Amino acid sequence: MEFILDTINLEEIRDGVDHMPIVGITSNPSIVKKTSPKDFFGHMRQVREIIGMSRCLHVQIVATKAEDMIAEAHTIFKEIDDQVYIKVPTSYEGVKAMKALKAEGANVTATAVYTTMQAYMALEAGADYLAPYFNRIANLGGDPVALISNVAKRIEEGHYDCKILAASFHALSQVEEALNAGSQAVTAPYGILKTVFANPNIDKAVNDFNSDWYDVYGQDTSIC
């Protein structure tokens, strides 16, 4: 299981990586807009500095023609580093770009996946990750759970070297559904992942335990 943060906010990244088992960062142009860094590449280099090379960094291209997508990927490699996962929308042109980038040995994340057939195309194009848009699919009346479980089954049976990176979450329950359906990875906003711990029962349990400890050893004592 991989937990990835869907943000380029440096405070969220620092805090999230410090507290949770986060293995990477994803972004897209709308996520970039939320922070609107003046120097995009300078900012992304800062993100890389925080997360280090052992975590993955997924950066989305904006071109719509395969040749231009490939050129943007090369700029990303030059400006950030060549380990970045290039997020390519799973369009007709995007799949062409994915094949070319994989032939160069680049890391590729197929994004904007709304259908099982798009996922299968990305799989065969050699994508390392593919990102079905959970909430957007559900909003369109689709079934993201069925999509994820079909693709997960196909990946397992075909021994594909590809992970489902479920994305587009608007509630923690959706993240859990995606993982239970067979997603190997999920990318979610910082606020949604933190919701895991926003449970008053956790605080109550801790308070009750501490109160029993203090009854025995005195208020505000600790194990140290």
Cβ closer to ligand E4P: 170 or 210?
170
Which is catalytic among the residues 87, 102, 163, 204? 87
Residues that bind ligand E4P (CB under 6 A): 6, 26, 28, 30, 111, 131, 133, 135-136, 167-168, 187
Cβ closer to ligand E4P: 123 or 167?
167
Q: Measured from the CB of residue 175, what is the shortest distance to ligand E4P in angstroms?
A: 11
Q: Among this protein's residues, is 194 annotated catalytic?
A: no
Long-range contacts of 88-91 (CB under 8 A, 24+ apart): 88/60, 88/61, 88/127, 89/60, 90/118, 90/119, 90/121, 90/122, 90/130, 91/64
Q: Measured from the CB of residue 53, what is the shortest distance to ligand E4P in angstroms?
A: 20
Residue found under tokens 């030059």:
78
204: Cβ–Cβ under 8 A, 6 or more apart, which residues? none
Q: Measured from the CB of residue 124, what is the shortest distance to ligand E4P in angstroms?
A: 21
What are the catalytic residues? 87
